[in-house]
Amino acid sequence: MDHFLYKNGHLHAEDVPLRDIAASVGTPFYCYSSATLKRHFALFTEALSPLPHLVCFAVKANSNVAVLKLLGDLGAGMDVVSGGEYLRAKAAGVPGERIVFSGVGKTREEMGLALGGGVRQFNVESEPELEALSEVATTMGIEAPIALRLNPDVDAKTHDKISTGRKEDKFGIPIARASEIYARAAQLPGIRVVGIDMHIGSQLTDLAPFEAAYTKMADLTRQLRAEGHFIERLDLGGGLGIPYTRSNEAPPLPSDYGAMIHRVLGDLGCEIEIEPGRLIAGNAGLLVSQVIYRKAGDEREFLIIDAAMNDLMRPAMYAAHHDIVPVSEPAPGDDIAPVDIVGPVCESGDTFARQRDMPLLVAGDLVAFRSAGAYGAVMASEYNSRPLIPEVLVNEDQFAVIRPRPGFDEMIARDRIPDWM
């Protein structure tokens, strides 16, 4: 469920007409619903309520500081994968004891940043990282809490580019080596083992891969405890999918996910950490764009809009589907025809949809891309020297720009011409 509905013939974000935002900030822009973000976070906290838990928002899904503050004020932790994301979480007022630092390539500088500012735990992905963290923590006179990220060799049955739990993937330590590496961690100065971490992929629409991985985690918890390790937390990662179409996708509900976690892991007495991003933010956001031209080709028509692949990368990168709807509600019986919906970037890959049935839109009409709140703005670039687009947060009948569109002068001023030129 989201809070983007047609009212009086116009698509609204909560109680704000999207056309009013477009008139104020221009197009294209991202728009997020506070009510939807709050509701989706609550679904996870309710699903895990029988167990001690912390729901950590995956900052990589949407790193706007206003969004992080909204969730942090509700009690969310943050799962970060870079020093920049760590600083964004801190800027949003999230304390270090609610920040989990993940990622396969943490630098010593990032380790020192998090140790100095406070961190709940590092999810360590390799032996070299473990050794480096020990050195940094010992130099600082600090103990680093860690969970080892273990690769369970479970196929998440999702897109190849977002599968992370197979043995051929770059993530984690092979589960067969868990005893060896945990024994090494226990011997290292500056390291305190607190748990186990697993994350097998993103946009999962079936609970079976999760259950297979968590069953291995449960067995390993018992084994490591028998070997003398104190395992108090189980970090289950994120990855629960969302419905990108309104018809044929039906991912599991957070309540079903929580029930499975309770059944598989509930008797271990561990605190459960989960790191959802897409399910909290995905359907809480839209990308709104304006039609520039309607162009007739030899064999098809093109709807050329002012959003492009640099604004929303997912269709070009993953062949991802987004429902695209007119901001003005079509009347019953309006003509519908297939069009290719494309952007102005100078690449054929700048195509959002092929032969998508749409009303007969013309220049100046507005369209909205649904399910764009996750991995939209965070993956955007300035390719073709196109400015990053605004982000807007709606709360009931109010809206605010939470990231403004930079001007061309601001973009160009970041470049430097050497003195010798």
pLDDT per position as a tens digit, 15-42? 999 999 999 999 999 999 999 999 999 9
In the structure, what pLDDT confidence band is assigned to residue 169 with cuts at 50, 70 and 90?
Answer: low
Cα–Cα distances in angstroms (integers) from residue 283 to residues 148, 243, 330, 376, in the given order: 31, 8, 22, 11
Contact 44, 273 (CB under 8 A): no
**Across residues 95-116, what is the average pLDDT?**
97
Whether 408 is in a domain gets the answer yes
**Across residues 328-332, what is the average pLDDT?**
92
Whether 172 is in a domain gets the answer yes
Share of the chain above pLDDT 90, in %: 83
Domain's final residue, options 217, 240, 274: 274
Residue 286's φ and ψ, nearest 5 degrees, are: -125, 155
Assess whether 270 and 298 both reside in one domain: no
Assess whether 208 and 133 both reside in one domain: yes
Contact 230, 195 (CB under 8 A): no
Assess whether 261 and 397 both reside in one domain: no
**What pLDDT is stored for residue 166 in this prediction?**
44
Assess whether 220 and 314 both reside in one domain: no
Domain that holds residue 18: 4-31+282-413
Assess whether 204 and 321 both reside in one domain: no
Per-residue pLDDT at 161 exceeds 50: no
Domain's final residue, options 274, 300, 331: 274
Give me the residue label for tokens 């599991």.
Answer: 252
Domain's final residue, options 229, 248, 274: 274
Whether 123 is in a domain gets the answer yes
**What pLDDT is stored for residue 154 in this prediction?**
61
**Across residues 153-169, what is the average pLDDT?**
50
Domain count, the chain: 2
Q: Which of 55-59, 245-249, 294-298 has the highest mean pLDDT?
A: 55-59
Whether 24 is in a domain gets the answer yes
List residues with catalytic annotation: 346
Q: Strand pairing of 10-13 and 351-359? A: unpaired
**What pLDDT is stored for residue 171 in this prediction?**
67
Q: What is the pLDDT of the chain when averaged over all its residues? A: 93
In the structure, what pLDDT confidence band is assigned to residue 162 with cuts at 50, 70 and 90?
Answer: very low
Per-residue pLDDT at 129 exceeds 60: yes
Assess whether 305 and 253 both reside in one domain: no
Per-residue pLDDT at 410 exceeds 90: yes
- CATH value at residue 220: 3.20.20.10
**What pLDDT is stored for residue 168 in this prediction?**
60
Beta bridge partners of 7: 10
Whether 107 is in a domain gets the answer yes
Whether 54 is in a domain gets the answer no
Assess whether 111 and 251 both reside in one domain: yes
Chain centroid to Cα 22, Å, comes to 25
Assess whether 306 and 237 both reside in one domain: no
Per-residue pLDDT at 330 exceeds 60: yes
Q: Is the dihedral of CA 302, 305, 311, 314 positive or negative?
A: negative
**Across residues 288-302, what is the average pLDDT?**
94
Distance CA 30, CA 401 (A): 10
In the structure, what pLDDT confidence band is assigned to residue 170 with cuts at 50, 70 and 90?
Answer: low
Per-residue pLDDT at 192 exceeds 50: yes
**What pLDDT is stored for residue 246 in this prediction?**
64
Assess whether 161 and 307 both reside in one domain: no
Whether 161 is in a domain gets the answer yes
- CATH value at residue 404: 2.40.37.10
**Across residues 355-362, what is the average pLDDT?**
95
Distance CA 142, CA 124 (A): 17
Assess whether 236 and 329 both reside in one domain: no
**What pLDDT is stored for residue 206 in this prediction?**
84
Whether 20 is in a domain gets the answer yes
**Across residues 61-82, what is the average pLDDT?**
98
Q: Strand pairing of 366-369 and 285-296? A: antiparallel
**What pLDDT is stored for residue 156 in this prediction?**
43
Assess whether 124 and 212 both reside in one domain: yes
**What pLDDT is stored for residue 334 in this prediction?**
87
Contact 370, 332 (CB under 8 A): no
Per-residue pLDDT at 325 exceeds 90: yes
Distance CA 284, CA 216 (A): 33
Assess whether 311 and 348 both reside in one domain: yes
User: What are the tens digits of pLDDT across the range 197-253?
Assistant: 988 877 788 899 889 989 999 999 999 999 999 999 999 998 888 878 765 557 889
For the chain, helix (H) and strand (E) counts, in that order, are: 12, 21
Beta bridge partners of 197: 149, 235
Preceding omega of 28 cis (within 30 degrees of 0): yes
DSSP string across 378-410 = GG---GGGPPPPPEEEEETTEEEEEEPPPPHHH
